[in-house]
Amino acid sequence: MVVYRMSRKKRLTKQCGTGPRTLADLSTGERCILDRLDLPEDAARRLMELGFLPGNEIVPGRRAPGGGPRVFQVDGSEVALRDDTAARLYIRRDPESDLVVLR
């Protein structure tokens, strides 16, 4: 839960130097690998069906004008999520090494 609170205060997290930890912390175009979904089962399942599976690559895309939900490129399609949902999707620290492990 500590991590969750920190991720919502993005600026604070960056000052601490911990780097991006959830989808909400990423800037546009910053590739990442999804690690886990901290959501109730139904919601997590639904997101997994849309491609938000642990180990999948996700690229944050455009945000709705005025700071609304953000579009994520995931598993061949584009899905929009609000920031509070994105903040519950944790990413792995180092995408490159994960790719090697997957092979």
Partner 1 sequence: MSTCHGDAPRAGLLPNPTIPPPRAPGDRPIIVAIVGPPNSGKSTLFNRLTGLRQKVANFPGVTVEHRMGKAKLKEPHEVFLVDLPGVYSLNPRAEDEQVTHDVLKGERADFPKPDAVILILDSTNLGRNLVLAAPILSLELPTLVLLNMADDLKQRGGKVDVAALASELNCPVALISAAKGEGIDRIQQFLVGTAVRLNAPPPKIELPVLQDVPKCRQWAAKLGVRASYQAPAPPLWTRRLDAVFLNPVAGPLIFIAVVIGVFQTIFSWAQPLMNGLQSAILISGSWMSSVLPDSPLRSLLIDGVWSGVGSVIVFLPQILLLFLFIGILEDSGYLARAALIADRTMAKIGLQGKSFIPLLSAYACAVPAVMATRVIENKRDRIATIMIAPLMTCSARLPVYTLLIAAFVPNIPVIHGVLSLPATVMLGLYFLGFLAAVVIARLLKSTVLKSNRSSFVLEMPPYRWPTWQSLGLRLVDRGKIFLRRAGTVILAVAVVLWILAHVPLQHGATPPLEQSVAGLIGKTIEPAIKPLGFNWKIGIGLITSLFAREVIVGTLGTIYGIEGDEHSLGLQQAVHHDLSVAGAVALLVFFAFAMQCFSTLAVVKRETGGWKWPVFQFCYMLALAYSGSWIAFHITNIFLR
Which residues within the stretch 60-79 sit at the binding site for partner 1 (CB under 8 A)?
A: 61-69, 71, 73, 75-79
Give the C-alpha distances (Å, rounded to integers) separating 42 from 15, 47, 52, 74.
34, 9, 13, 19
Does position 48 bind partner 1 by CB under 8 A? yes
Q: What Å distances lie between residue 26 and 22, 41, 49, 65, 91, CA to CA?
A: 7, 24, 22, 17, 10
Provide φ and ψ at 80, rounded to 5°: -95, 135
Nearer to partner 1, 17 or 76 (CB): 76
Check binding of 6 to partner 1 (CB under 8 A).
no
Helix (H) or strand (E) holding 72: strand 70-74
Taking the complex as a whole, how short is the minimal distance between the CB of residue 46 and partner 1, in angstroms? 7
Output the smallest distance, CB 90 to partner 1, in A: 16
Q: Find the binder of partner 1 among 54, 92, 95, 98 (CB under 8 A).
A: 54
- Please report, as ranges, the residues that interact with partner 1 according to CB under 8 A: 42-43, 45-51, 53-55, 61-69, 71, 73, 75-82, 84-85
